[in-house]
Amino acid sequence: MTIGGVPLLLTTVMLAVTSGLSGAAASDVQQEATSASLASVLPAPVVATATQGVTYRITTTTTIYAQAGSAAAADIAGQLAAILRPSTGYPVPIAAAPSSGPADGISLLLSGAPTEVGDEGYQLDVTDASIVVRANQPAGLFAGVQTLRQLLPPAVESASVQPGPWEVAGGQIVDHPRFAHRGAMLDVARHFLPVSVVKRYIDEIALYKLNRLHLHLSDDQGWRIAVNSWPNLAIYGGSTEVGGGTGGYYTQDEYRQIVAYAAVRYITIVPEIDMPGHTNAALASYAELNCDNVAPKLYTGTKVGFSSLCVSKEITYTFLDQVLGEIAALTPGPYLHIGGDEASSTTASDYTTFMNRAQQIVAAHGKTVVGWHDIVNAPVLPSTVAQFWGTTTSNAAVTAAAQNGTKVVMSPANHTYLDMKYNSRTRLGQHWAGYIDVQDAYGWDPGAYLAGVGETSVLGVEAPLWTETIETLADVEYMAFPRLPAIAELGWSPMSTHDWASFNQRLGAQGPRWHVMGINYYHSTQVSWPTGS
Ligand code: ACM
């Protein structure tokens, strides 16, 4: 049975289950229910094809075979084994894949994938004897492994031995992303989040095939990365946060650890130093960065728009060059985000002067500029990426930029801002962009949202999480789940699969997984959670 588009498959299964089959037909229901797991993948795959009556079972003899000679494939095999071993209790050894063709067991191969799946896609084949993931690049193998996790029972995510059985429904998935940029953002400036929280969030976003983590590393309330040439930024500028807590910052070694942890999960870190506004922590740390040479006090409130770097001083550009130079050197990814939002204490002409120089400095360090969409109010380099965060569906300046070739990351605040409350009763979060329940997060099309900014201008989507009210991992998770998977699906899945009923079923099926993984999620009443999750 070949079905292009998962919702149809799921619908078929649900019809079979609800039509009251019993007795002799029970095994058919079981069979259908098994094939439903192919249709349960989130984000929805491009094509899922069930093979009736076929099931692969992981057993005590199952081996993972990784593409011979590929350290990346071996590493991904190791990550898969690290999930399977604790919950199955099986040894799950890893071996080099034989050149003679896929062996019985689980194979992760960098050969034989269709060209159309590109660098991040994969093909997954499940038969009675084997599970074979094929990809053109390691990123695709990693994505295929995330799909395989979802095809196994939720208990596979457990840290302790569970009864099983560990079965995967037979069939084939051929899958690749719609957009190149599928991001999440953590604001570690308003409240500092330690490395352990960032790593856990990386694990969580990787589950849903996101490939960018944007770190908002500086704001009025704190500077969160050590800069050797300007040490007070972190030591003093990082010493507080919203509400007056002790803040904190990443040493350069810790930042490298985050980058490396993300890299083996095929996630690129996009560091942001917000400027020329949102800079009180820097201005408080160095008096000479202020036009009047007077350092303001550290700030622990939540107002915006009151700070600006001094555009007319040359030392400002020495600062930019040295700070961005150090961060560029620590960051293997292509992007440096320079903020540019809400610069209401910078005149329009100063903003243009500043952004011209800032973009040149980023380019001189070999990186591509990303800015909040306010940056298009200045002339932008052809490579500069604008991140739309507005709440309207038209923005003349962004449209003009897009029509001039600027690529746009879509983060409309009223759909993607994970710090917005779900409803008026949500304890955490803000609501200046409205309340965002799951249907609001899911119900839009990034490729046809902003007037005059079509699919080809859209680099992708991103879900920012600002932390004025967010302090702990539990807070982060509560705001991200279940909305983050909605944004992830908009970034990955073809628009032809976009269907609330299907998404709702697949999202609900994640609940038991989050339960097993200890993810603190909001039990939105819009979602059909399975009973007991
Ligand atoms: C923003 O929300 N100020 C980008």
Give domain limits for the chain.
Answer: 43-175, 181-495
Atom of ligand 1 nearest to the CA of 372: 4
CB of residue 437 inside a 6 A radius of ligand 1 = no
Ligand 1 contact, 389 CB (< 6 A): yes
The CA 492 to ligand 1 mean position distance, Å, reads 24
Q: Determine if ligand 1 sits within 6 Å of the CB of residue 321.
A: no
Q: Could you write out the DSSP letters of every residue in 147-184?
A: HHHHHS-GGGG-SS-----EEEEEEEEEE--S-SEEEE
Please pick, among 288, 314, 342, 471, the residue that the annotation labels catalytic. 342
Pocket flag, ligand 1, residue 372 (CB < 6 Å): yes
Angle at 478 between CA 474 and CA 484, to 5 degrees: 125
Cα 30–513–31 angle (5° rounding)?
Answer: 10
Q: Quick one: pLDDT at residue 102?
A: 86
- Pull the structure tokens for residue 471: 């302090």
Question: Which residue among 374, 387, 389 has the greatest number of ligand 1 atoms within 8 angstroms of its CB, and so is best to mutate?
Answer: 389
Between the CA of 497 and the centroid of ligand 1 the distance, in Å, is 30
User: What is the topology classification, in CATH, of domain 181-495?
Assistant: TIM Barrel (3.20.20)
| Nearest atom within ligand 1 for CA of residue 374 | 4
**Nearest of 412, 409, 453, 434 to residue 214 by alpha carbon:** 409
Report the alpha-carbon distance of residue 484 to residue 182 in Å, rounded.
11
342 CB under 6 A from ligand 1?
A: yes
Structure tokens at 72: 């990346």
In this structure, the residue with its CA closest to atom 2 of ligand 1 is: 389
Q: Which of 218, 342, 415 to mutate to test the pocket of ligand 1 (most atoms within 8 A of CB)?
A: 342
Q: How confident is the model at residue 192, as a pLDDT?
A: 98
Residue 326 is a catalytic residue: no
**Residue 449: predicted pLDDT:** 98
**pLDDT per position in the chain (533 positions), as tens?**
333 333 333 333 332 222 222 333 333 333 333 334 788 999 999 999 999 999 999 999 999 999 999 999 999 999 999 999 999 999 999 999 999 988 999 999 999 999 999 999 999 999 999 999 999 999 999 999 999 999 999 999 999 999 999 999 999 999 999 999 999 999 999 999 999 999 999 999 999 999 999 999 999 999 999 999 999 999 999 999 999 999 999 999 999 999 999 999 999 999 999 999 999 999 999 999 999 999 999 999 999 999 999 999 999 999 999 999 999 999 999 999 999 999 999 999 999 999 999 999 999 999 999 999 999 999 999 999 999 999 999 999 999 999 999 999 999 999 999 999 999 999 999 999 999 999 999 999 999 999 999 999 999 999 999 999 999 999 999 999 999 999 999 999 999 999 999 999 999 999 999 999 999 999 999 999 997 66
**The pLDDT of residue 8:** 35
Residue pair 439/526 in contact by the 8 Å Cβ criterion: yes
For 360, phi and psi rounded to 5 degrees?
A: -65, -40
Interatomic CA distance for residues 273 and 261, integer angstroms: 21
456 class by beta-carbon count within 10 Å (0-12 exposed, 13-18 middle, 19+ buried): exposed
In three-state secondary structure terms, 224 is coil
- Expressed in angstroms and rounded, the spacing between residue 419 Cα and the centre of ligand 1 is 11
CA–centroid distance, 115 to ligand 1, in Å, is 38
489 within ligand 1 shell (Cβ under 6 A): no
**Closest ligand 1 atom, CA of 464?**
2
- 503 touches ligand 1 (CB under 6 Å): no
Closest atom, ligand 1, to C-alpha of 413? 2
In angstroms, the CA 155 to CA 157 distance is: 5
Distance 232 CA to ligand 1 centre (A): 25
Q: Report which ligand 1 atom has the smallest distance to the Cα of 304.
A: 3
Rounded Cα distance between 434 and 432, Å, is 6
The pLDDT assigned to 24 comes to 31
Q: Whose CA is nearest to atom 3 of ligand 1?
A: 341
What is the end-to-end Cα distance of the chain in Å, rounded?
31
Query: How confident is the model at residue 31, as a pLDDT?
Result: 32
Give the model's pLDDT for residue 533: 64
Phi, psi of 501 (to 5 degrees): -60, -45
Q: What dotted CATH number matches 43-175?
A: 3.30.379.10
Residue 374 CB–ligand 1 contact under 6 Å: no
87 sits in which H/E element: helix 71-88
Is residue 90 in contact with ligand 1, taking CB distance under 6 Å?
Answer: no
- Ligand 1 centroid to 13 CA: how many Å? 43
Rounded to 10 degrees, what is the CA torsion of 41, 47, 50, 55? Answer: -50
Using the mean position of ligand 1's atoms as its centre, give its distance from the Cα of residue 389 in Å. 6
- In the reported structure, the alpha carbon of residue 395 is separated from the centroid of ligand 1 by a whole-number distance in angstroms of 15
Sign of the four-CA dihedral 104, 106, 111, 113: positive
Residue 372 identity: W
